[in-house]
Amino acid sequence: MDGGSRRSSSRRKRGKEVESLRKGPWKAEEDEVLLSHVRRHGPCNWSSIRSNGLLQRTGKSCRLRWVNKLRPDLKNGCKFSAEEERVVIELQAEFGNKWARIATYLPGRTDNDVKNFWSSRQKRLARILHVSASSSRPQKNKRKILASCDAPRTVDIKRPVVEELSAKPEQGNSADQGYDPANLMPDFIYAAPLLAIPPTVFNSEILHPNFSIDGNLHKETQPHSSHHDFSNLQSRFPFGQDSQGFPQILDDPEYFNLIGPEAANSSQFSVDNVFLQSPGVGQCNTTNIDIDDATMQGPFLEDLPSCMPDQFEQLPSPSRW
DNA sequence: AAGGAACCCAACCGCATTCAT
DNA sequence: GATGAATGCGGTTGGGTTCCT
């Protein structure tokens, strides 16, 4: 067929297709026709399905249906596992919103799955931060637990965090479960990139060794030093390149050498200091940090609205986001 | 039990790229 | 090389479901 005749026949077809094109949810019969086409011709020539009068769907729609729902190797109706969540988070940090590329690392998952997963995660995070900061109404969702509550506060930062991430929440009212600081640290590690906290800030302010150790703030007499440079850390621990992921670095002693000798010498890390409490919030027993204190002023606080530090909430573990 | 918020996910749309003529 | 079709991808939307008060 030459270009001219192809164009004119294409115009004729376009006029016809507008009136007979079907949209919306797929019926089982349509799926069967599509599957039959793929069995015969393979997953290609999508447009021929309509041009042959098999379905009143665009080739694009047929392809999408096959890729997202009918492919035999899909994990349909199955929630993302903790491992899958971790992979998505790491790869998103590495590749950005390249969902199709990320999906190639997740057998049985489509770009749409990854995209939906990420999108709902982002919405949740945005809501947690924005709503709690702006709304005076009490939170309706029990699944969100304020970090500022009475509970034991010290967590062993060196314990394997992978178990914690894959641990399922106990059944029942979260208020009864209390606040489990052991789950908080790894969650915050993942929350940091999602909250757009710059890595250097995350490292120097969140994992700052002087925030730590015994639950009290050890004030520094010197500005935060270069040994907190996250780029150094990242080059040493190129998380995202394998399935082990970022959490594994917490089990590597070299990590603590990089973030600081104090932390390296301690097996304890106080989560109080991760969630900085502004003065006056004091209905809880977290460590209050003086925002006016020069040693506490850094990009972490500057990058956030002034009301933000007392608005942090514990994020549920990734499998609960 | 009802209503609303939050969540999940299928499917569409627009744009970019690749392929075929 | 130009053109249109086919394909691929990311963003968005809308409806159904679940959870909570």
Write the pLDDT tens digit of every residue in A180-237: 333 333 344 444 443 433 333 333 333 332 222 222 223 232 323 323 333 333 443 3
Task: Report CA(A295)–C1'(B12) in Å, whole number.
Answer: 52
Residue A271 has pLDDT above 70, yes or no: no
Q: Which residue is nearest to nucleotide B5 (CA to C1')?
A: A140
| Predicted local distance difference test score (pLDDT) of residue A65 | 92
User: What residues form DSSP beta bridges with A268?
Assistant: A156
Reported confidence tier of residue A130, pLDDT bands at 50, 70, 90: low
Helix or strand holding residue A231 (H, E)? helix A230-236
Alpha carbon A17 to its chain's center: 41
Tell me where in chain A the CATH 1.10.10.60 domain(s) lie.
3-70
Segment A167-173 shows an average pLDDT of 31
Reported confidence tier of residue A44, pLDDT bands at 50, 70, 90: confident
Residue A153 has pLDDT above 50, yes or no: no
Nucleotide nearest to A115 (CA to C1'): C10
Residue A122 has pLDDT above 60, yes or no: yes
Spell A70-107 as b/e; 16+ CB within 10 A means b. beeebeeeeebebbbbbbbbbbbbeeeeebeebbeebe
| Predicted local distance difference test score (pLDDT) of residue A136 | 33
Nucleotide nearest to A121 (CA to C1'): B7
Nucleotide nearest to A126 (CA to C1'): B6
Task: Report CA(A162)–C1'(C17) in Å, whole number.
Answer: 31
Nucleotide nearest to A97 (CA to C1'): C10
Better pLDDT: A247 or A179: A247
Spatial CA neighbour of A203 closest among A238, A255, A265: A255
Q: Which residue is nearest to nucleotide C19 (CA to C1')?
A: A141
Task: Report CA(A134)–C1'(B3) in Å, whole number.
Answer: 23
Nucleotide nearest to A120 (CA to C1'): B7
Q: pLDDT tens across A73-92, in order? A: 888 778 888 888 888 988 89
Q: Which residue is nearest to nucleotide B9 (CA to C1')?
A: A116
> Which chain C nucleotides are covered by protein, judged by CB under 7 A?
2-13, 19-21
CB-CB contact of A209 with A219 (8 Å)? no
Task: Give the residue ranges with Cβ < 7 A from strand C.
Answer: A 3, 6-7, 10-11, 14, 44-48, 51, 59-60, 63-64, 97-101, 111-112, 115-116, 119, 140-143
Separation of alpha carbons A130 and A89, rounded Å: 21
* A182 Cβ contact list (under 8 Å, min separation 6): A155, A156, A159, A164
Q: pLDDT tens across A237-270, in order? A: 333 333 333 334 333 434 333 333 333 333 333 2
Task: Report CA(A131)–C1'(B8) in Å, whole number.
Answer: 21
Separation of alpha carbons A212 and A262, rounded Å: 9
Reported confidence tier of residue A61, pLDDT bands at 50, 70, 90: very high
Q: Which CATH architecture has domain A3-70?
A: Orthogonal Bundle (1.10)
Better pLDDT: A28 or A177: A28
Residue A8 has pLDDT above 80, yes or no: no
| Predicted local distance difference test score (pLDDT) of residue A217 | 28
* Residues 5-64 of chain A sitting with CB below 7 angstroms of strand B: 6, 23-26, 60-61, 64
Is the CB of A172 less than 7 A from some atom of nucleic acid strand B?
A: no
Q: List Cβ<8 Å contacts ≥24 apart for A77-84.
A: A78/A108, A79/A319, A80/A109, A80/A113, A80/A117, A80/A319, A81/A166, A81/A319, A82/A162, A82/A165, A82/A166, A82/A317, A82/A318, A82/A319, A83/A166, A83/A243, A84/A109
Separation of alpha carbons A316 and A184, rounded Å: 8
Average per-residue pLDDT for chain A: 52
Task: Report CA(A89)–C1'(B19) in Å, whole number.
Answer: 34
| Predicted local distance difference test score (pLDDT) of residue A26 | 92
Segment A22-36 shows an average pLDDT of 89
In this structure, how many other beta carbons lie within 10 angstroms of the beta carbon of residue A171? Answer: 6
Q: Which residue is nearest to nucleotide B4 (CA to C1')?
A: A140
Reported confidence tier of residue A137, pLDDT bands at 50, 70, 90: very low
